[in-house]
Chain A
Amino acid sequence: MTRPSFGQRVRRNEDARLLTGRAMFVDDVNLPGMLHVAFVRSMMAHGTLKGIDAAAARQRPGVVAVYTAADLGDYCKPGPVLVNPPPVPGHVFHGCTQLPLAKDKVRYVGEPIAMIVAESRYVAEDALADVIVDIDPIDAVVDLEAALKPGVPLVHPHLESNAAAHVVQRKGDYVAARAKADIVVKRRFLYDRGVAAAIENRAVAVDWDPRAEEMTIWDTTQAPIPIRNGLAKMLGLLESQVRVVAPFVGGGFGPKIMMFYPEELLLPWAAMRLHRPLKWTEDRQENFYATTQERGQVHEAEMALSKDGRILGVRDWFLCDTGAYDPYGLTIPINTQCTLLGPYDIPNYETEFTSVFTNKPIVTPVRGAGRQHGVFVSERLLDIAARELGIDRVEIRKRNLLGPDRFPHNHEIMFQDSAPLVYDSGNYLPTLEQAAEIIGYDKFIREEQPRLRASGKRVGVGICCYVEGTGIGPYEGARVTVEPSGTVRCATGVGTQGQGHFTVLAQIVADALGVGVEDVRVVTGDTREFHWGTGTFASRGAVVAGSACHAAAMSVRGKILDLGSAILGAPADNLELSGGRVKVAGSNDPGIAFGDLAGRANPLRGAVRPGTEPGLESTAYFGPDRGSTASGVHAMIVEVDPETAAVEIKRYLVVHDCGTIINPLLVEGQIHGGVAHGIGNAFFESLVYDDQAQLMNASFMDYLLPTATDVPPIETAHRETPSPFNVLGLKGVGEAGCIPTGAVFAQAVEDALGPGAGVEINEIPMSPNQLFELMHVSGKERA
């Protein structure tokens, strides 16, 4: 009997290849005659592009071609808006997307201006300095609030202001609720930008075969199929003439779902003209400009409560930095609006945002995608309300959690997938109680903290709740095939960037068919293998592609049973699938191996009966009406050095509920990575722009990613509240680790410093220098 793999800590199918260096990445593509590409990028954040003189670069030995916008002709068109705004009544949205190469105007440092193709990347970089770019500078738009003032230069001069979008969403009647409140807490919150910092930067390699008229594009994208579809259309090719391969990709985290990056558009175009293979691999410094970023938001928010700590309503007003262009529509700020509600019963809610164009790199979702901002605002307001009302932090949360009888719960506002925000299922109170128990909250507050404080140590605990909307549509598909060798092949369209798709999708198929996980070969990220799909984003791979794999595998299971029944002469109900064989249940007859059955299903003589198909193969699609809602609680213990403002994280706990768990090992891996990302956002990482939008820390020397020495061991506990929205009960987990980290960090540090310090952290990231200033200022104010 093959043991079901669901819930087991199954080792990853892909690791042997990854760990022994045999996995293929885009930069491993090396073809005879390959040329290398570098881009001349704007050094100015904002200005009129008056001229480009590439004559010297074209003369340099080893340079094959230099292209500017003028050379692109009709191909130089603004890219598409990828995600149309959800139909919120009254919303305003100005879609402004970028050209492959800048023409007339530059809008951020790093915007590509010219493309250099040379015999080596060394020569291409030598030639960068040969290109003379004449830019007449315009004052850069940097600060979100200043950007909206009258008279400020416009990033997109055809618009009336730098506002990219405006959306108001309402639930209940906040004004009436506020009038009845015993207390209203109001604060201003900042949450600033970071980079996704995938270990592999972006890369594109292209091979155009002019005789076969076929193009192969290797791309680090999270969305190979949409890239194929779009490029085929733009290049005037059939979709079947273009093959996009997203091989192993060293981390995505969101920016690699962006399309189309200029480099993705330009290399295929140039390859068709030069008839030589091309490759561009982004270097780390380019990545700080040329790859999308996220997180800049400013909130003015208030929460109205009764004196027993029940939330009567929340009003939030915020600005969201969208950077120089807004190809990703409103996904991020809508996520913020929706995630602010968290696991709480918030009957009245008014939320309004303005999305703002600035002269900074383009903003598209990065792991969390606006969710951490919403969580930061509601969790901070709850902390402040708890303090003012004299209610314990955990207690005030307990009083406001949605009960298990409230699902599905309609929040009456619109989510990023253009469907109403409905929580599918959840059981929040036990999660919070379990987290408080594991971290030892009560004992810590009652005994440890006072004891340590008496000895001069400043230690504190933080504990915060969150939900994460995951697993949204539109759809994914999968094709499951039993090959005559008995190997099961599962092809799907989602790309993979380290999540473990080769294992979790294999587990889903393996359990449906009764084979070992290692016997299922998952093929993904290659448009030749599967034609339809969207991509890997929004914590949806396991939920959406997984459900499609399950459906396809169940269909193949049906075919196995049908054919097995015919051959074995037993009703399908009496058959069992195990160990890669179908047999009569309880019989000593070994039955038939799947491989043999596959051969019988594809006969060389005889006919496939009408109404049946050859082979043991099925294709299925899954498109959920709406996403499923994961949830959890993070808790953290920190120690602060009151003299230096150094913060040390002593413990970090995540109690998480992502529905049915396919593989706890992989869930924990996702959470660990997410927490590291969140710790980075909270304490280390910060993109520092000067007043002309020059990034001052575009290297890992000054952009501080947390390293192994900065991330503590992460404790995890799992709860499983299955989603009713898909057969397997799955919810996503890709982003959970980084969503509440900033809020927990702020609460824990405040707690460590104690009420006497008068420090309130309403800003993320919070460096030791900023914390020092806060401690110093509040110290002075007290004196």
Chain B
Amino acid sequence: MKPAAFEYHRPDTRPEALALLEQHGGDAKPLAGGQSLIPAMNFRLATPAVLVDLNRVGDLAYMRVDSGVLRIGAMTRHRDVERSEDVRRAAPLLFEAMPFIAHAAIRTRGTIGGSLAHADPAAELPAVMLALDATFRVESVRGAREIRATDFFTGLFGTALEPGELVTEIQIPVTPATGPRTGTAFTEFSRRHGDFALAGVAARVTTDERGTCVSARIALFGVGDRPMAAAAGARLLEGQTVSDDLLRATADATAREDIDPTGDIHASSRYRRHLAGVLTRRVVARAFERSRVTHEE
């Protein structure tokens, strides 16, 4: 399990990194935390001719809140996100999801931008970004653009990134603590702590003073070729107050209409669908509950 030979660059600045990515195009891979890429290279299932190591690029790791947006530099390590007070306050859903990502050792190296650009369909963060309606800033030598999470994930490990483009910043609207109240919740089912989830759900529910759902987003992972927004499930919630029947109907609609999971050695398609339903019900219930708690604060 030794990688094939590759050319290695370690730029110090963002323009140098972008220039290298532009120069080598599809032959180059940016190296962020290396927690997915390096194992794939060791298995020789990834054989990039060129690695552009971003770990020396200074200005890609930061977290700050401005004008209602939580901005996270793409090279910010999971471990830093997990421990950030800003993240806890501005994006409690992201904060709740972080400990589910792999293991502490992996989170210490792995980066938020790397995970999103990798777009593993069983990863936590892409679904969280869908539920939070995040936007990604991507840059290349040709300029910068912004891509909404809903448009970013295009298929199995597929993203809207063009050759030469790099995710540089994740922008998450701050979960409002006033006005309509918002509750978020996250869970996943995996065989062991840190494994790829057999199914996982992130939800955000906003209610008015009477507890009626104003808007809802549900995103699932591990149950398709990309993170899946559960439109049918979420639609049932809007305009409703929480009840066991509503939760059950939402879970059923999500499991039946919003996903079409494949089976693998760990979980059949049927079991994944079943898990997706159970987890959706539990997570949406918790999100409702938390939207009420913010009311009472």
A interface footprint on B1-38 (CB within 8 Å = 1, 0 otherwise): 11111000000000000000000000000000000000
- A699's nearest neighbour on chain B, judged by CB, is B43
- B3's nearest neighbour on chain A, judged by CB, is A122
Interface presence of A56 (CB below 8 A): no
Contacting A at CB under 8 A, from B208-253, are: none
- A128's nearest neighbour on chain B, judged by CB, is B44
- What is the CB-to-nearest-CB distance from B49 to chain A, in angstroms, rounded to a whole number? 14
A126 touches B4 (CB 8 A): yes
Which one of A121, A283, A643, A684 has the greatest number of beta carbons of chain B within 10 Å? A643
Q: With A644-B278, A646-B189 given, is the CB distance from A769 to B271 under 8 Å?
A: yes
What are the residues of chain B within 8 A of A768 when measuring CB–CB? 191, 271
- B196's nearest neighbour on chain A, judged by CB, is A701
Interface presence of A389 (CB below 8 A): no
B265 touches A704 (CB 8 A): no
B1 touches A684 (CB 8 A): no
- What is the CB-to-nearest-CB distance from B278 to chain A, in angstroms, rounded to a whole number? 5
A710 touches B271 (CB 8 A): no
Interface presence of A709 (CB below 8 A): yes
Residue in A121, A122, A284, A688 whose CB lies within 8 Å of B5:
A122
What are the residues of chain B within 8 A of A644 when measuring CB–CB? 189, 275, 278-279
What are the residues of chain A within 8 A of B69 when measuring CB–CB? none
CA distance A686 to B194 in the complex (A): 18
Interface presence of A240 (CB below 8 A): no
Residue in B5, B43, B274 whose CB lies within 8 Å of A772:
B274
Interface presence of A697 (CB below 8 A): yes
Q: With A646-B189, A706-B192, A709-B192 given, is the CB distance from A696 to B5 under 8 Å?
A: no
CA distance A769 to B265 in the complex (A): 9
What are the residues of chain A within 8 A of B191 when measuring CB–CB? 684, 704, 767-768
Q: With A644-B275, A688-B265 given, is the CB distance from A710 to B189 under 8 Å?
A: no
CA distance A704 to B193 in the complex (A): 11
Residue in A122, A643, A696 whose CB lies within 8 Å of B265:
A696
What are the residues of chain B within 8 A of A643 when measuring CB–CB? 278
B193 touches A772 (CB 8 A): no
Interface presence of B64 (CB below 8 A): no
- B263's nearest neighbour on chain A, judged by CB, is A769
A704 touches B192 (CB 8 A): yes
What are the residues of chain A within 8 A of B279 when measuring CB–CB? 644
B1 touches A707 (CB 8 A): no
Q: With A644-B189, A684-B191, A707-B192 given, is the CB distance from A285 to B268 under 8 Å?
A: no
Interface presence of B162 (CB below 8 A): no
CA distance A598 to B286 in the complex (A): 76
CA distance A334 to B3 in the complex (A): 44
CA distance A710 to B195 in the complex (A): 12
CA distance A767 to B263 in the complex (A): 14
- What is the CB-to-nearest-CB distance from A424 to chain B, in angstroms, rounded to a whole number? 40
What are the residues of chain A within 8 A of B271 when measuring CB–CB? 768-769, 772-773
Interface presence of B267 (CB below 8 A): yes
What are the residues of chain A within 8 A of B194 when measuring CB–CB? 707, 709
A769 touches B268 (CB 8 A): yes
B interface footprint on A117-132 (CB within 8 Å = 1, 0 otherwise): 0000110011000000
- What is the CB-to-nearest-CB distance from A498 to chain B, in angstroms, rounded to a whole number? 23
What are the residues of chain B within 8 A of A686 when measuring CB–CB? 265
Contact count A vs B, C-beta below 8 Å: 53
B5 touches A709 (CB 8 A): no
Interface presence of B56 (CB below 8 A): no
- A705's nearest neighbour on chain B, judged by CB, is B192
- What is the CB-to-nearest-CB distance from A665 to chain B, in angstroms, rounded to a whole number? 28
What are the residues of chain B within 8 A of A173 when measuring CB–CB? none
Contacting B at CB under 8 A, from A731-783, are: 767-769, 772-773
CA distance A686 to B278 in the complex (A): 26
Classify chain B's interface size. 20 to 34
A interface footprint on B254-270 (CB within 8 Å = 1, 0 otherwise): 00000000000111100
Contacting B at CB under 8 A, from A266-293, are: 283-285
Interface presence of A437 (CB below 8 A): no
- A643's nearest neighbour on chain B, judged by CB, is B278
Interface presence of A702 (CB below 8 A): yes
What are the residues of chain B within 8 A of A710 when measuring CB–CB? 192-193
CA distance A187 to B295 in the complex (A): 58
Residue in B2, B193, B266 whose CB lies within 8 Å of A709:
B193
CA distance A772 to B274 in the complex (A): 10
What are the residues of chain B within 8 A of A704 when measuring CB–CB? 191-192, 195
CA distance A684 to B3 in the complex (A): 29
A697 touches B4 (CB 8 A): no
CA distance A562 to B20 in the complex (A): 82
What are the residues of chain B within 8 A of A285 when measuring CB–CB? 1, 43
What are the residues of chain A within 8 A of B3 when measuring CB–CB? 122
A121 touches B2 (CB 8 A): yes
CA distance A701 to B102 in the complex (A): 11
CA distance A517 to B268 in the complex (A): 55
B5 touches A126 (CB 8 A): yes
CA distance A767 to B189 in the complex (A): 13
CA distance A722 to B196 in the complex (A): 48
Which one of A644, A707, A767 has the greatest number of beta carbons of chain B within 10 Å? A644
Q: With A709-B192, A710-B192, A768-B191 given, is the CB distance from A125 to B2 under 8 Å?
A: yes
What are the residues of chain A within 8 A of B193 when measuring CB–CB? 707, 709-710
- What is the CB-to-nearest-CB distance from B60 to chain A, in angstroms, rounded to a whole number? 28
Contacting B at CB under 8 A, from A667-719, are: 684, 686, 688, 696-697, 699, 701-702, 704, 706-707, 709-710
Q: With A696-B265, A769-B268 given, is the CB distance from A283 to B1 under 8 Å?
A: yes
B265 touches A702 (CB 8 A): yes
A interface footprint on B45-57 (CB within 8 Å = 1, 0 otherwise): 0000000000000
A interface footprint on B64-105 (CB within 8 Å = 1, 0 otherwise): 000000000000000000000000000000000000000000
- A126's nearest neighbour on chain B, judged by CB, is B4
What are the residues of chain A within 8 A of B44 when measuring CB–CB? 125
What are the residues of chain B within 8 A of A696 when measuring CB–CB? 265
- What is the CB-to-nearest-CB distance from B129 to chain A, in angstroms, rounded to a whole number? 24
CA distance A768 to B271 in the complex (A): 9
A interface footprint on B160-193 (CB within 8 Å = 1, 0 otherwise): 0000000000000000000000000000010111
Which one of A284, A285, A769, A773 has the greatest number of beta carbons of chain B within 10 Å? A769
What are the residues of chain A within 8 A of B278 when measuring CB–CB? 643-644
What are the residues of chain A within 8 A of B268 when measuring CB–CB? 769, 773
- A706's nearest neighbour on chain B, judged by CB, is B192
- What is the CB-to-nearest-CB distance from B221 to chain A, in angstroms, rounded to a whole number? 16
What are the residues of chain A within 8 A of B5 when measuring CB–CB? 122, 126
CA distance A646 to B191 in the complex (A): 8
- What is the CB-to-nearest-CB distance from A428 to chain B, in angstroms, rounded to a whole number? 35
B265 touches A697 (CB 8 A): yes
CA distance A697 to B266 in the complex (A): 10
- What is the CB-to-nearest-CB distance from A179 to chain B, in angstroms, rounded to a whole number? 44
- What is the CB-to-nearest-CB distance from B102 to chain A, in angstroms, rounded to a whole number? 11
Contacting B at CB under 8 A, from A103-147, are: 121-122, 125-126
B interface footprint on A624-654 (CB within 8 Å = 1, 0 otherwise): 0000000000000000000110100000000
CA distance A697 to B265 in the complex (A): 8
Starting from the known contacts A707-B192, A709-B192, 9 additional A-B residue pairs (CB-CB under 8 Å) come to: A285-B1, A643-B278, A684-B191, A688-B265, A704-B192, A707-B193, A768-B271, A772-B271, A773-B268
23 contacts between A and B (CB under 8 A): A121-B2, A122-B2, A125-B1, A125-B2, A125-B44, A126-B5, A283-B1, A284-B1, A644-B189, A644-B275, A644-B278, A644-B279, A684-B191, A684-B192, A686-B265, A701-B196, A702-B266, A704-B191, A704-B192, A707-B192, A709-B193, A710-B192, A772-B271
Q: Which B residues are closer than 8 A to A by beta carbons? A: 1-5, 43-44, 189, 191-196, 265-268, 271, 274-275, 278-279
Q: Which A residues are closer than 8 A to B by beta carbons? A: 121-122, 125-126, 283-285, 643-644, 646, 684, 686, 688, 696-697, 699, 701-702, 704, 706-707, 709-710, 767-769, 772-773
Sorted from nearest, which 9 A-B pairs have the closest CB atoms?
Answer: A709-B193, A283-B1, A688-B265, A122-B2, A643-B278, A769-B271, A125-B2, A769-B267, A704-B191
